[in-house]
Amino acid sequence: MNIFIAFELDGSEKKIIQNNLKKHNLYFSSLVFNKTADKNFLKCEIVFGNIPPNWIPQSSKLKWVQLESTGFGEYSEIRKNFLKNDVIITNLKSFFASQVAQTALAGVLALYRGTDLFPLLKKEKKWVGDPIRKKLEILNNKKVLFFGKGSINKEFSKYLKPFDCKCSFIDSHSTKEFILNKLKLAEIIVCALPGTKTTKMLFNKTMLNSLSKHSILVNVGRGDLIDENNLIEKLKNKTIKGAVLDVTSEEPLHENSQLWNCPNLILTQHTGGGYTNEIQDKVYLFLDNFKRYSKNKSLLNIINPSKGY
């Protein structure tokens, strides 16, 4: 089989693929993508990596794309081509659950325990000490509202068990009245939703105004979920306790973005899913799925482009 690797690998990771796929033709991309599809890509039945969406209709041989991400919003416009041509697309669903959940937990604890402030005080060589103590909070018994019942939120909820937090979940069946009532009581709101037409700007002015002054808003889903202008206003006016954003509407953030100057805001720069063996483990997941493909078995993490997840 001809396989196109549209994914940046180091020498050791490339060797893993080469050793496991010796009988197949491998084409490693230069990662410089043009509108016209790469001539090697056009030979291939399988792709590992995120190719430009407009390449897909140009291929008559493509059968399967293994993305190296969970999100696939950029492919939504050509979903008809996916379905019409029977091209299977798989993503990394659940791959990042533990890492992202731990990043979210770290952010919440940083805001409660003040650990986001201490590096700044250290840089200034400024000792504040006791006056900080009365401003610190604990995670125990907090009311946590999860938007989404996916792997990230399920993992995060497990981490909260030792703290006896009261967890509630919002899903696609939740009514607007139910959501707004829950928001008013929630002290931690965790969003790990996919990017769809329904979730875009879900946290509009009305939703944000339902948050209490004691609430922390966490977004580890998609950057277009939140009306950032209204969030910035609430953070600057201190009408919510804080926010943890792994994703933003613009990435990377422009140097003039007001988010840089917001108080009580932790920006983790879309690194939530990262860890030392991330790339190597993605390679092994692809190889596992490739074995399934070779044996005509059902692939892991087949997505439905029309649903958005």
Same domain, 201 and 56: no
Reply yes or no on whether the pLDDT at 180 is more than 80: yes
For residue 130, give the CATH number of its domain.
3.40.50.720
**Predicted pLDDT at 252:** 96
**Predicted pLDDT at 309:** 57
Residue 301 in any domain: the answer is: no
Residue 16 in any domain: the answer is: yes
Residue 32 in any domain: the answer is: yes
Question: What is the number of other CB atoms lying within 10 angstroms of the CB of residue 64?
Answer: 21
- Tokens 């103590």 belong to residue: 133
Quickly state the pLDDT bin for 303 (edges 50, 70, 90).
confident
**Predicted pLDDT at 75:** 77
String of b and e for 182-211 (b: at least 16 CB within 10 Å)?
bbeebbbbbbbbbbeeebeebbeeebbebb
**Predicted pLDDT at 100:** 98
Residue 306 in any domain: the answer is: no
Residue 67 in any domain: the answer is: yes
Same domain, 194 and 237: yes
Same domain, 157 and 249: yes
Q: How far apart are CA 219 and CA 202, in angstroms?
A: 12
Same domain, 212 and 125: yes
What are the CA-CA distances from residue 96 to residues 13, 29, 32, 163, 294 (Å)?
19, 25, 26, 23, 26
pLDDT digits (tens, 9 = 90+) for 12-59: 999 999 999 999 999 999 888 888 999 999 999 999 999 999 999 999
Same domain, 132 and 191: yes
Same domain, 245 and 142: yes
Which of 204, 254, 197 minimizes the C-alpha distance to 229? 204
252 preceded by a cis bond (ω within 30 of 0): yes
Quickly state the pLDDT bin for 159 (edges 50, 70, 90).
very high
Q: How far apart are CA 154 and CA 265, in angstroms?
A: 24
Identity of the amino acid at 106: A
Among 84-98, 132-146, 156-170, 172-186, the range scoring the smallest mean pLDDT is 84-98
Same domain, 153 and 64: no
- Mean pLDDT for 172-193 is 95
Our count of domains for the chain comes to 2
Token pair of 203 as six digits: 């946290």
**Predicted pLDDT at 80:** 55
Residue 244 in any domain: the answer is: yes
Residue 302 in any domain: the answer is: no
Quickly state the pLDDT bin for 304 (edges 50, 70, 90).
confident
Domain with 116, as residue range(s), is: 97-267
Same domain, 219 and 131: yes
Quickly state the pLDDT bin for 77 (edges 50, 70, 90).
low
Reply yes or no on whether the pLDDT at 308 is more than 80: no
Indicate the average pLDDT of the chain. 94
pLDDT digits (tens, 9 = 90+) for 252-297: 999 999 999 999 999 999 999 999 999 999 999 999 999 999 999 9
Q: Model's pTM, two decimal places?
A: 0.92
- Mean pLDDT for 185-201 is 93
Query: Which DSSP string do the residues of the chain spell out, in sequence order?
Result: -EEEEES---HHHHHHHHHH-TTSEEEE--S---SSPPTTGGG-SEEEE---GGGGGG-SS--EEE-SSS--GGGGGGHHHHHHTT-EEE--TTTTHHHHHHHHHHHHHHHHHTTTTHHHHHHHT----HHHHTT----TT-EEEEE--SHHHHHHHHHTGGGT-EEEEE-TT--HHHHHHHHHH-SEEEE-----TTTTT-B-HHHHHTS-TT-EEEE-S-GGGB-HHHHHHHHHTTSSSEEEES--SSSSPPTT-GGGG-TTEEE-TT-TT--TTHHHHHHHHHHHHHHHHHTTPPPTTB--TTTT-
Could you tell me if 274 and 296 are in contact, meaning their C-beta atoms sit under 8 angstroms apart?
A: no
**Predicted pLDDT at 71:** 84
**Predicted pLDDT at 196:** 84
Same domain, 161 and 251: yes
Q: Going by C-beta distance under 8 Å and a sequence separation of 6 or more, which residues neighbour residue 245?
A: 218, 219, 226, 259, 265, 266, 267, 268
Same domain, 187 and 79: no
Same domain, 287 and 212: no
* Percentage, residues of the chain above pLDDT 90: 87
**Predicted pLDDT at 86:** 78
**Predicted pLDDT at 84:** 58
Residue 309 in any domain: the answer is: no
CA angle 138, 143, 145 (to 5 degrees): 125
Same domain, 223 and 153: yes
Q: How far apart are CA 139 and CA 105, in angstroms?
A: 10
pLDDT digits (tens, 9 = 90+) for 229-252: 999 999 999 999 999 999 999 999
Reply yes or no on whether the pLDDT at 82 is more than 70: no
